[in-house]
Amino acid sequence: MTAVRDAVASAAQRLSTAGVASPRHDAEALAAHVLGRSRSDLLVASWEPASAQHFEDLVSERARRVPLQHLTGVAGFRYLDLAVGPGVFIPRPETEVLVSWGLQQLAGHPSPVVVDLGAGSGAIALSVAHERPAATVYAVEREELALAWLRRNAAGTQVRVVAGDATDPGVLTELDGSVDVVLTNPPYIPLGADVEPEAADHDPAASLWGGPDGLDAVRGMAARAQVLLRLHGVVAIEHADLQGRSVPALLRAAGGWEDVADHPDLAGRDRFTTARRSA
């Protein structure tokens, strides 16, 4: 039997050479996935040839920049493990800060209504529902493959899945003027921008590209959010780190918003804009 720690060390070097951003972490995560054990158990673990070969196969895929989450089938987000795979955007840790802000806005609301526009895997909606069980949470998604992952993750929860375009004025019209919080992580990458292979080759295009300036979907979702929200209800919109001025400017120019502000992620980069409906 081969010591897992030796195989992990070799795999980490291979992934580093391939340009993977977190080679040691990913090598350990793949080994833990193969063995069905925690990463902390790997130092004393060993495996049979079949398991070793499975690990090598996964490392080869990761070296080709297939996302780690596609290989394990799971993406961790806040307190949840979400099922993910081809056809759905892999939730990023940066979005967890947006969820924290959204949850803070629910203080004092005994039974708030929350809408996640462009829900993808359901990371935002499911986190809100998990951490605020009294909330009524809707998750809107248009893309067929992403919708399948969303339904899988939302099964058995109180999240209400809605199939539809999050920018369509006809979606969720029964909620117009009654929603407390709208949260969204829309596609916001400008066309032609350079992105990592994990995203460019494996995240669905509809979840990435936001038109020439990256703000096409942001405009549509902000407009829909304004109609959905009750007076003084709030919205949070994630954006690229270079859009910390353009997204707030977009909301101010649209009118009907007050308390427009931008917020950083844990790395200190501009990450999401918030506003309160004023009209």
What pLDDT score was predicted for residue 1? 47
Cβ(100)–Cβ(131) below 8 Å: no
Cβ(78)–Cβ(99) below 8 Å: yes
Compute the Cα dihedral for 214, 178, 257, 275 and give only its sign.
negative
For residue 119, give both structure tokens.
């829900």
**pLDDT tens, per residue, the chain with 279 residues:** 457 888 999 999 999 999 999 999 999 999 999 998 888 777 667 777 788 899 999 999 999 999 999 999 999 999 999 999 999 999 999 999 999 999 999 998 999 999 999 999 999 999 999 999 999 999 999 999 999 999 999 999 999 999 999 999 999 999 999 999 999 999 999 999 999 999 999 999 999 999 999 999 999 999 999 999 999 999 999 999 999 999 999 999 999 999 999 999 999 999 999 999 997
Which candidate, 108, 121, 182, 127, places its Cα nearest to that of 147? Answer: 121
Domains of the chain: 2-64 (1.10.8), 74-277 (3.40.50.150)
CA pair distance 218, 215, nearest whole angstrom: 5
Q: How far is CA 107 from the centre of its chain?
A: 23
What pLDDT score was predicted for residue 43? 67
- Sorted by sequence, the CB contacts under 8 Å of residue 206 that are 6+ apart come out as 142, 143, 146, 187
- Sorted by sequence, the CB contacts under 8 Å of residue 231 that are 6+ apart come out as 177, 277, 278, 279
What pLDDT score was predicted for residue 50? 85
Which stretches within the chain are classed as H helix? 4-17, 23-35, 49-63, 68-72, 95-105, 123-131, 144-154, 197-200, 216-228, 246-254
Which three-class secondary structure state does DSSP give residue 65? Answer: coil
H or E segment to which residue 114 belongs: strand 113-117
